Amino acid sequence: MSTGGKPLRLGVLLSGRGSNFLAIAHSIREGRLPNVEIAIVLSNVADAPGIQAARDLNLTTAVFVSKGRARADHDADLIACLRGHNVDLVCLAGYMRLLSPGFIAAFPNRILNIHPSLLPAFPGLDAQEQAFDYGVKIAGCTVHFVDEHLDHGAIILQRAIPILETDDAHSLSERILVEEHIAYTDAITRVASGDYVIRGRRYVKR
Ligand code: GAR
């Protein structure tokens, strides 16, 4: 993704706890994401712990409450805000609301999402519990480009872990989360390098 040598500016969208956002922020602060900066953190939930965490880090934040608003209207506000802050790459980090086609079109192949399953298995809510209840033996997480379908676009990378005899849905979620925090930084590194093409659904390193 070419920025002409300037830092790649991230717009992070979240709805809740914000641990993936914090993992990205720590990677930047600790030098694991060189030439990347967080331009703005947006939440659609006023009291999301993640937005408070962003304020505590003195990052630029904004809240656009989505409840009760038409998706297209709400997303138009997000697009204007992200553009106003010169965002190059949008990172969904536990943003629990479908994006409108207009939003996807505004940032073509420039929106990433992290999902706590090995897609295409277990899209949607409570993916870790879905995987545990299904009885799969391997679980994990996926970082992918976002298209107009839920948890669907081209996959950038996945990290897999075995499900242990001793696991319950909670312990499995916690172990997947450890992988998520590594995966998001790795995926941003790959996208920031620009050293890839997307062929159909396939992310292919050049
Ligand atoms: C993460 O497990 C993320 O993968 C998931 O929400 C959680 C947010 O945690 N996202 C989805 O399920 C998207 N379909 P966080 O707020 O601590 O990053």
- Residues belonging to the active site: 115
Work out the mean pLDDT of the chain and round it to a whole number. Answer: 97
- What is the whole-number distance in angstroms between the Cα of residue 107 and the centre of ligand 1? 21
pLDDT digits (tens, 9 = 90+) for 153-182: 999 999 999 999 999 999 999 999 999 999
How far is CA 185 from its chain centroid? 10
Computed on alpha carbons and rounded to an integer, the radius of gyration of the chain in Å comes to 16
Query: Is residue 1 scored above 90 in pLDDT?
Result: no
DSSP state of 140: E
Q: What was the pLDDT predicted at 151?
A: 95
The whole-model pTM stands at 0.97
Using alpha carbons, select from 186, 195, 143 the residue that is nearest to residue 27. Answer: 186
Q: What was the pLDDT predicted at 204?
A: 97
- What is the whole-number distance in angstroms between the Cα of residue 98 and the centre of ligand 1? 13
What's the CATH fold of domain 7-107?
Rossmann fold (3.40.50)
SS3 72: helix
Domain ranges of the chain: 7-107, 115-141+159-198
Ligand 1: residues with CB < 6 A are 14, 16-20, 50, 93-94, 114-116, 127, 151, 177, 180
User: What's the rounded mean pLDDT across residues 76-82?
Assistant: 98
